[in-house]
């Protein structure tokens, strides 16, 4: 049987691809368990600085596997902590993750993309939370992350109607960072990941933590956290090297310390 995820490293970038083409990369337990395992390995791998998560050239992921969950009962979902037990690894992963989206990112697929730090999309990509049509709700973060990404009224429009949003609207709305011609999105995500991998890893972690604080803390707490992180950068050898290199008009050589 084919692996449900394809995992490899390209220089300092970890590349993870959904691989269930027969069901439009629908996400089942095996996929999320394998994703958690891959992230565990990348987290502790000192040679990996950044991760790209993608599907195929045709589809990112058409959501949670409907056939696999159609008979799920409340008591089982509740007692086994359905979703939380293996979807949250992406949330706790500390290195930057770029989602490269071709085709559709629907339901759980859209929610996984929103758990990434940056979304790049092909200009034929489409996003949506169509769970209402199945009489369930976006329960892997969609009702919380979508309004934070695109605002309340647009998020309401999306989750209540279940309509799809094209890449242009997604980019205008702030869900997607950048759009590219089809066929180029993965290449561009890998190139951006490679650029990040050249920067100081502790600084990337501090940036990710600081920006995420903007979603989780009142402004003054977030500002305080940011200020302390700024102060902490002055304890890094990389900060000395980065500023010395600028003054000496040369390329910095970061040691990630
Ligand atoms: N789950 C299971 N199988 C799927 C899924 C899915 N989400 N999406 C597509 N497939 C399967 C189809 O059943 C079909 O299988 P088969 O060949 O055996 O008939 C195959 O993939 C091809 O699909 P289509 O024939 O439908 O292909 P089209 O090109 O006509 O349409 C679409 C592609 C638009 C992607 C369409 O398949 C579709 O609308 N899919 C469902 C999208 C959806 O409703 N997603 C939301 C799912 S619910 C969810 O994500 C809940 C999240 C809450 C958290 C839960 C965490 C576990």
| Interval 193-225: pLDDT, tens | 999 999 999 999 999 999 999 999 999 999 999
pTM over 0.95: yes
Ligand 1 site residues, Cβ closer than 6 angstroms: 23-24, 26, 62-67, 69, 83, 104, 106-108, 130-131, 134, 136, 138-140
Residue 228 · residue 221 · CB < 8 Å:
no
Examine the pLDDT at 24 and tell me if it is beyond 90.
yes
**How far, in Å, are 9, 74, 185, 232, 234 from residue 197 at the CA level?**
12, 43, 18, 20, 20
Alpha-carbon gap, residue 185 to 12, rounded angstroms: 19
- Number of residues that this document lists for the chain: 257
Residue 131 Cα to ligand 1 midpoint, Å, equals 11
Residues classed as catalytic: 64, 108, 111, 131
Kindly indicate the confidence band of residue 1, based on its pLDDT and cuts at 50, 70 and 90.
confident
Residue 37 · residue 67 · CB < 8 Å:
no
Pocket perturbation via mutation, ligand 1, pick of 4, 27, 29, 63 by most ligand atoms within 8 A of CB? 63
Examine the pLDDT at 2 and tell me if it is beyond 90.
no
Q: Mean pLDDT score of the chain, rounded to an integer? A: 97
Examine the pLDDT at 245 and tell me if it is beyond 90.
yes
* SS3 at position 165: strand
Residue 2 Cα to ligand 1 midpoint, Å, equals 19
* SS3 at position 206: helix
């Amino acid at each position: 049987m084919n692996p449900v995820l394809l995992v490899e490293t390209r220089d300092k970038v970890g590349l993870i691809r959904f691989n269930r083409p027969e069901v439009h990369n629908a996400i089942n337990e095996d996929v999320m368990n394998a994703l958690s395992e891959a992230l565990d390995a990348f987290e502790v791998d000192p040679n990996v600085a950044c991760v790209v998560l993608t599907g195929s050239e045709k589809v990112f992921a058409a959501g949670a596997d409907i056939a696999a969950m159609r008979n799920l009962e409340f008591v089982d979902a509740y007692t086994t902590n359905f979703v939380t037990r293996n979807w949250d690894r992406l949330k706790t992963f500390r290195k930057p993750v770029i989602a490269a989206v071709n085709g559709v990112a629907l339901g759980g697929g859209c929610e996984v993309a929103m758990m990434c730090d940056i979304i790049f999309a092909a200009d034929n990509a489409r996003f949506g939370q169509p769970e209402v049509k199945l009489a369930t709700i976006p329960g892997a973060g969609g009702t919380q992350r979508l309004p934070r990404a695109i605002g309340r009224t647009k998020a309401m429009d999306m989750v209540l109607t279940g309509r799809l949003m094209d890449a242009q609207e997604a980019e205008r709305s702030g869900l997607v960072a950048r759009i590219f011609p089809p066929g180029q999105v993965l290449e561009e995500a890998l190139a951006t990941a490679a650029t990040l991998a050249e920067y100081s890893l502790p600084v990337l972690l501090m940036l990710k933590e600081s920006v995420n604080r903007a979603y989780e803390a009142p402004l003054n707490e977030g500002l305080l956290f940011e200020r302390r992180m700024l102060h902490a950068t002055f304890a890094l050898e990389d900060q000395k090297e980065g500023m010395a290199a600028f003054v000496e008009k040369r390329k910095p050589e970061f040691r990630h310390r």
